[in-house]
Each structure stands twice: as C-alpha cells, then as structure tokens.
Amino acid sequence: MGTSRTRHAGARTATTGRTADGARAARTRVTAARRAALALAAAGALTLTACSGNGGDGGDGGKSGSSSKGSSGVSVQLPKLTGQKLQVAAVWTGPERASFLKVLEEFEKRTGATVDYIPSGDDMAGFIGSKIAGGGQPDVAFPPQVGVLREFARKGWLKPLGPAAKEQLAKNFSPGWRNLGAYGGTEYGVYYKASNKSLIWYNTKVFEDAGVAEPKDWAEFLKTAQTISDSGVPPVSVGGADGWTLTDWFENIYLSQAGPEKYDQLAQHKIKWSDPTVTKALTALGRLFGTTGLLAGGNSGALQTQFPTSVTQTFSGDQPKAAMVSSGDFAATNIAQTKAKVGEGAKVFPFPAVGSRSPVVTGGDAAVALKDTKGAQALLTFLASTDAAKIWAQAGGFISPNKELDQAAYVNDTMREIAQALIKAGDDFRFDMSDQAPASFGGKPGQGEWKDLQDFLKNPKDIAGTQKKLEQDAAKAYGS
C-alpha cells in the first residue's frame, strides 16, 4: 500500500501510522508534537552494507520562485492566507504525524493560515467518501494508494493542480512520479513522500553470533534464516496483523520472479490471480511461511503482530525476538524507539533476488486537493517544493522523490545513500501493486488481498485456495 505504507504505509498501525483508532476525526492543531518519519527509495543500485545508518498572491497557490534559494532562504513563494483555515487528512499518527505537523507549522508561519490535521485511519477511501457525502471534506488529503487517488479522480472529487503547484512539480519531480499523481491526462497529486519497500533490516549482533552474512538471493535467504533459527533466535519477524505487510512480501517475490511485464499485467488484472506465475510466487513465499521455526512467534504469533512491533522486537533487548524484518525505509522510525542505531546495530540489505535480480517496489502518499481553494493550492505548491521536503528529511527517517532536494538534508549516511539511489534510479521502479488496485481489493483491512494473504499466512499449504479467493475478490473489485 501506501506509503505506504504505504504503509504504505501504509497502512501503518500504532506508532507508525495507519490505525483504526486514527479514523476518529479528532482534530490536532499543528502547533503540537514533533519528530520521526517514513521514507522512500528505488534501490536498484542500493549498496547499504557499510552504511550507518511569504509570498505573492493568486488563487493558484501563488507564483513559485526559482528552485535556487533566494536571499530569504526559501525556494518557493507562497500567498498570504491570513485568517484562512484548512483541514488536511492523512493516515499518519504517532511520530509520523509529529514530523508532518512540523511541515504544516512552517506553512502556517509563511502564509498566516491555520491548519487542522485529521487522522483518517486506514480506510482513506471510506473516510473521504463519508466526509464528501456530508459536505465536510478536508481541503487536502493524502491517499496512500495510487488506486484510491484514481478512484477519487474518476468520481470527480479531486481538483487539478494549479499553475504554481505544477511548476514546482515539473521542476522537482521525474516524469514517473508526476504520472503517478495524474489521471486522464490531468495532474492532481504531489508525491510528497514515498517508501522503498524492497529492503530487509537486520540485527547485526544476531547475524554475527550466528556466523551469517547478508544473503543475495532467495535460496541464500532461506538458508541464512535456518542457520539463525538453529542458533536459537527466530530469524524473521512478520507483522501479519497488518495485511499490507503481506502484500509487500508477495509483491517483492512476484516482481523479482515474474518480471515487470507480468507485474504490470497482474496489477491491472489483465491476467488472473489463478495464473501460474502467482502459483510460483506463493510457493516461494510458502517456503518461508510454511517452514517451522522461521517466523517469530510462529504463524499464529505473526498474525497477531502489528507492523511497529515486528520492527521493534527485532532490535530490542539483549535477546531480540527476531533477526530480520522486511520493511521500507520507514522502519527507521521504529528502530529509533529502540537502543539500536541505524547503520550499526541495525543494517539493511536489498530484498533478495528470487528471480534474476532484486526487486524495486515503491509506495507513497500523494497530496491532492478536494476543495478548489487558494489555501489548498498553496499547500500543494509548498509540498512540491524542496522547502517542505527538507523539513521532514532533517527530522530523520524520511526519503523524498524530490530530485532537487539537497542530499545534505538527510540525517545520516544510510538515508542519504538510499536517497541517492532513488534519484539515480529515475523512473526505473514499480509502484506497490496493491496500492494500484481498487481500494476494496488492495487497501482495506479485513477484506480483499489483505485478508486473503492473512489466511495464507495461517495456512501456507493452501496455495490453490488462496489463488481462488484472490481471483474472486479481484474480479469483483475490478468488475471483470
């Protein structure tokens, strides 16, 4: 998912974001909280083993300035919005929200506007749908799935980007990221943040104690996991309580094994989930999920583990509950809540190649306008600038697809190198498959792909049954 996730973010529960509790429309003033983050990269060339871890006017958001910093120290000019109030909805809670509030605080300071933040919960589509039905939609929202963004555009809920926002977008983002925020030839979204979902974070001490090194392919990964298990530590932590983590596992294996063309076809439901390529990918994933001793807490324990815990239990205490966890760069936020330091006690390697090469799966959260207001356009313009990206990058744990952002803004070498790899990758990545799907299939807790893969985690031997249910749910969602 989105971003994240994602999950993205994702869907990110508890301390990292998407949670059912967040669905309450409790307004949080922007003057609160601080810190932490989420991230992105497309790490085709990732080599991380040695790393540490006031303006003008105009209803379109104001005319943007040069991307070069002027004497005022800002790269974009914003309109005066004194007395205006905006509402912004996103999935972020906990430390992610705190970091984002710092971004909104700067926007308030530079425009004079007042911004209220509303956590949407996991189901952004349902949340926004209910708000629009009641006539109370926020000015700006952050759909964590490109499929949800497209759904909103099809329904006529989105307002096109104004000239100033489009100018910043053209200046700072590659065509691939711009296209992800467009629908029907019209630009709607600004991908302020995203995530590289093709990474494995690991506890360096557990690896050293077990005498293992970073695996390069799936066979080595499984062999390494077994060696770690034999040493007395459960090798792999899985946050199965959050279904999006399981879609990430599947998508990485499928992209590496089946290749980008088949990946695109499955993402668009041009081939069915009963396809032999899906059988092959589930079989590979089943070798991990179905082997006794490889999952922290076993299958039952994994199904009860939320994403934040899946990360922190890998790096907490003298006797961690796991050695590795598959997660995007946003895991750095959770690792920061332990005593482990990114680049020292916590390192990262690319998702192992299941086919000919390691996969590059990304996710992200795009800002879109739901009201045609001066304030909404100004905020989108700001979010497309390097100024806004720099604020979160300096807070830590954040990677931006903004190609003009000064790499020195990142807080450590790990994030800096991931960011550099992302920019060098250009448009050579694949966006999270479930995030491209209709929300009813790829983005809702307790149903569709999330639920079907949770059932697979419960019974990894039932590959045929899993494919049958995935195809039934996909066909219903896609209307085919």
Mean pLDDT of 331-356: 92
The reported pLDDT for the residue numbered 20 is 33
Mean pLDDT, to the nearest integer, of 323-349? Answer: 92
d(CA 314, CA 170): 40
Query: Which pLDDT tens digit goes with each residue over 217-263?
Result: 999 999 999 999 999 999 999 999 999 999 999 999 999 999 999 99
Could you tell me which residue, 299 or 73, shows the higher pLDDT?
A: 299
Give tens-digit pLDDT for 404-452.
999 999 988 888 877 777 777 777 678 899 988 988 999 888 999 999 9
pLDDT of residue 269: 97
Q: For residue 27, what pLDDT is reported? A: 34
Give residue-wise pLDDT tens across range 119-150.
998 788 899 999 999 999 999 999 988 888 99
Q: What HEC string does 142-210 produce?
A: CCCCHHHHHHHHHCCCCECCCHHHHHHHHHHCCHHHHHHCEECCEECCEEEEEEECCEEEEEHHHHHHH
State what percent of residues in the chain have pLDDT above 70: 85
Residue linked to tokens 């995530």: 195
3-state helix, strand, coil in the chain (%, to 5): 45, 15, 45
pLDDT of residue 72: 53
Q: How confident is the model at residue 480 (pLDDT cuts 50, 70, 90)?
A: confident
Span 73-77, average pLDDT: 89
Mean pLDDT of the chain: 85
The answer to whether residue 32 scores a pLDDT higher than 60 is no
Averaged over 161-172, what is the pLDDT? 98
